[in-house]
Amino acid sequence: MPITLRCVGIDVSKHHLDIFDEGIGVSERVANAPHAITELVARWRCDALVVFEATGVYDLGLREALRAAGIRFARINPARARDFARASGQLAKTDPIDARMLAAFARAMRPATEQVSTPARNALARLAKRRDQLVLMRAQEKNRRSEAGDRAMVERICRLIEVLDHEIAEIEADISALIKAEPEISRDAQLMRSLPGVGPVACMQLIAQMPELGHVGRSRRPRLRAWLPSTSTAAPTAASVRSAAGASVSAMPSTWPPSTPSAAPIASRPSTQGCDRPANRQSSPSLPSPESS
């Protein structure tokens, strides 16, 4: 007797989860807390498919509970969920309605389920996220430097940019060491760097945010080949990769500098050119910022 797939949609917020379980047929709300999530997940078995929108740290507890219970789940891009709702004629938007819509999305679209994440990949994702935050801060400070009205203010901003350069360089060194230390991640990095247009930062982001790219089936390979650039000019955004691969999409920063394909570690270069510094002070090298991409 075939097992019927049980589709569950969950709308995730900071303090609570709205659930629509096809097996029950009614909406309910539970606290977004470990004890409540554990009781919720205990209802489902391996025949369930749980779908929810990517919400960063707010869905972390849910993800861990689902993995521990061996239940398949998919985190999808909120924009993809809204497109599905519009195509279905569902224009109203409340938490219970969104949960019901996500269950319908699971039933109709059967999205690719989340790959099991290892501690090393989780650490890499945290480092990548922090690096992007610092790169954004540096870009903002560079913009402020260009608008500063006096030399003293320019020097203050340059000092802060140097600090950010140093922090970014340290994180990049940690990322390179982590990639080298993990054989599976190192293998994936070498494969990705061999592709035209995939530079060191794009490679790091892809490994950290989309581990499923190393396990793409034959049916999705033509779409990935169509996405790959024919020249090594600049790497496209991660959202376009996930869309081409047919996988779930999560929010990702778009720091994609041009580079030549190789398997070398993340390269660095000075990024605070134009600052007036004392002769005995040197800036820490770092990757190009978004404004130079």
Domain boundary among 109, 132, 148: 109
Measured distance CA(285)–CA(213) in Å, rounded: 30
The pLDDT assigned to 293 comes to 37
Measured distance CA(272)–CA(283) in Å, rounded: 7
The pLDDT assigned to 275 comes to 60
Pair 252, 209: CB distance under 8 Å: yes
Tell whether the model's pLDDT for residue 236 goes beyond 50: no
Tell whether the model's pLDDT for residue 8 goes beyond 90: yes
Same domain for 41 and 151? no
Q: Is residue 253 part of a domain?
A: no
Same domain for 125 and 185? yes
Q: Is residue 280 part of a domain?
A: no
Q: Is residue 167 part of a domain?
A: yes
Handedness of CA 155, 156, 158, 159 (dihedral sign): positive
Mean pLDDT of 121-136: 91
Tell whether the model's pLDDT for residue 269 goes beyond 60: no
The pLDDT assigned to 152 comes to 94
For 25-73, the pLDDT digits (tens) are 999 999 999 999 999 999 887 789 999 999 888 998 999 899 888 899 9
Mean pLDDT of 165-183: 94
Pair 97, 20: CB distance under 8 Å: no
Same domain for 125 and 238? yes
Tell whether the model's pLDDT for residue 1 goes beyond 70: no
- Which pLDDT band, with edges at 50, 70 and 90, does 218 fall under? low
Measured distance CA(218)–CA(233) in Å, rounded: 27
Mean pLDDT of 194-216: 76
- Which pLDDT band, with edges at 50, 70 and 90, does 78 fall under? very high
**Which residue, 102, 106, 104, 110, is CA-closest to 10?**
102
Q: Report the range out of 116-120, 188-192, 226-230 with the highest average pLDDT.
A: 188-192
First to last CA, the chain: 56
Tell whether the model's pLDDT for residue 16 goes beyond 70: yes
The pLDDT assigned to 199 comes to 85
The structure tokens 């096809």 sit at 22
Rounded to the nearest 10 degrees, the angle between the axes of helix 183-193 and helix 200-209 is 130
198 is in which domain, residue-wise?
Answer: 119-245
The pLDDT assigned to 253 comes to 37
Same domain for 19 and 89? yes
Mean pLDDT of 249-258: 36
24 vs 262 pLDDT, higher one: 24
274 vs 173 pLDDT, higher one: 173
Residue 29 belongs to a domain with what CATH number?
3.30.420.40
Q: Is residue 231 part of a domain?
A: yes
Same domain for 220 and 130? yes
Domain boundary among 63, 90, 109: 109
Same domain for 128 and 104? no
Q: Is residue 189 part of a domain?
A: yes
Total domain count, the chain:
2
Mean pLDDT of 108-130: 85
Same domain for 104 and 126? no
Same domain for 185 and 222? yes
Q: Is residue 293 part of a domain?
A: no
Q: Is residue 292 part of a domain?
A: no
Q: Is the pTM of this model over 0.75?
A: no
Q: Is residue 267 part of a domain?
A: no
Same domain for 142 and 98? no
Same domain for 22 and 74? yes
* 224: three-class secondary structure by DSSP: helix
Q: Report the range out of 13-27, 43-57, 237-251 with the highest average pLDDT.
A: 13-27
Least confident of 20-24, 56-60, 166-170, 209-213: 209-213
The pLDDT assigned to 56 comes to 81
175 vs 251 pLDDT, higher one: 175
For 178-190, the pLDDT digits (tens) are 999 999 889 988 8
The pLDDT assigned to 222 comes to 53
Same domain for 38 and 134? no
Domain boundary among 59, 88, 109: 109
Same domain for 142 and 217? yes
